[in-house]
Structure 1
Amino acid sequence: MPEKVFGLTYQGIKDFQQELEERKTVMAAEIAERLKEARALGDVTENSEYDDAKSAQAENEMRILEIESILKKATVIGDEDISQEEVTLGGQVKIRDMETGEDREYVVVSSQEEDIFNSRISSDSPVGSAILGKKKGNTVTVKAPTGMLKYKIMEIKKPS
């Protein structure tokens, strides 16, 4: 089965590269120091500090492998790939909740770089998949845990 290829924004690639560098240098060095200190305490068979450091090392190495895999499989979503006519991956969209009148702005990204706290929603999420391909003025209905939500697309632009 071929590997899944997905798009990442320039910002997403930059963020992953930065995290990868941090994990390979700073975090790896900190964990190595923790292991060294734990070994200095003596017998490692019942040493919780050593076990914790080994666990942190394994988690760090797994995340490094994951990030490397993400970067290997990713295609770059460039400015030329982002439409201002319809919602596309990498595009910024302002939507209005038709019930509350509240506006929200999101950048639609792949699930690998989703970060709801920074207004980056996945194209696989209920809202992301509903608005993908839609145009300004279109209304979409989204099934959510709280019920059906209705949004109107107010603006589509390239992220700043």
Structure 2
Amino acid sequence: MAQKSFPMTAEGKEKLEEELENLKTVKRPEVIDRIKIARSFGDLSENSEYESAKDEQSVVESRISQIEEMIRFADVVDASTVAEDEVSVGKSVTFLEDGEDDPETYRIVGAAESDPLEGKISNESPIAVALLGKRTGEKVSIQTPGGTMDVTITEVK
């Protein structure tokens, strides 16, 4: 069975590597120290500090595994190899919805680095899926959970 690849920008991969380093060198040792301290309190069956620290250790170890897999199977996309006016991962796209006056701009990134509040949308989102591979000037119908959006791509950079 083939492993899933994780499309991402070079910047996104770098951020994951930094997070992994922080988890391994800072967070993991902190949690281990909390577990040691909580064990010193005695009876573990009714030790909420110990249970809390063990739960946190589970979350940290799970995130470490998740990041390691994403980095191992990272597919770093070089947007400069795609036509200048073609929508791809790593590029920003501006479009105007039919009947609207205000254009919307999003940067399409890998799922691991998406942050809608920062204008970064996942390549797996309905908007990105509909726009990927399209070019400036094209009209696109986007199927979203809220209905269909008809848009015209006004800029790709």
TM-score normalized by structure 2?
0.91
Mapped partners of 1:6, 1:146: distance in 2: 27
Cα distance change on mapping 1:29 and 1:100 into 2, 3 Å: same
What residue is the counterpart of 1:62 in the other structure? 62
Answer yes or no: is the 8 Å Cα contact 1:5–1:74 preserved in 2.
Answer: yes
Question: What is the root-mean-square deviation in Å for CA atoms of aligned residues?
Answer: 1.6
Q: Deviations over 1:100-126 (max 9, x none)?
A: 322222111222322212211122211
Percent pairwise identity:
36
Mapped partners of 1:116, 1:33: distance in 2: 36
What residue is the counterpart of 1:152 in the other structure? 152
Answer yes or no: is the 8 Å Cα contact 1:136–1:153 preserved in 2.
Answer: yes
- Structure 1 runs not aligned, ≥5 long: none
Cα distance change on mapping 1:2 and 1:135 into 2, 3 Å: same
Q: Deviations over 1:118-153 (max 9, x none)?
A: 211122211001111111111212222322222221
What residue is the counterpart of 1:77 in the other structure? 77
Answer yes or no: is the 8 Å Cα contact 1:82–1:89 preserved in 2.
Answer: no
Equivalent position SS for 2:42: coil
Map of 1:115-126 to 2, 5 A cutoff?
A: 115-126=115-126
Answer yes or no: is the 8 Å Cα contact 2:139–2:153 preserved in 1.
Answer: yes
Equivalent position SS for 2:152: strand
What residue is the counterpart of 1:101 in the other structure? 101
Q: How many residues align?
A: 157
Q: Deviations over 1:73-103 (max 9, x none)?
A: 0122225334322101211111222233222
Map of 1:18-33 to 2, 5 A cutoff?
A: 18-33=18-33
Mapped partners of 1:128, 1:137: distance in 2: 16
Equivalent position SS for 2:45: coil
TM-score normalized by structure 1?
0.89
Answer yes or no: is the 8 Å Cα contact 1:99–1:150 preserved in 2.
Answer: no
Answer yes or no: is the 8 Å Cα contact 2:8–2:111 preserved in 1.
Answer: no
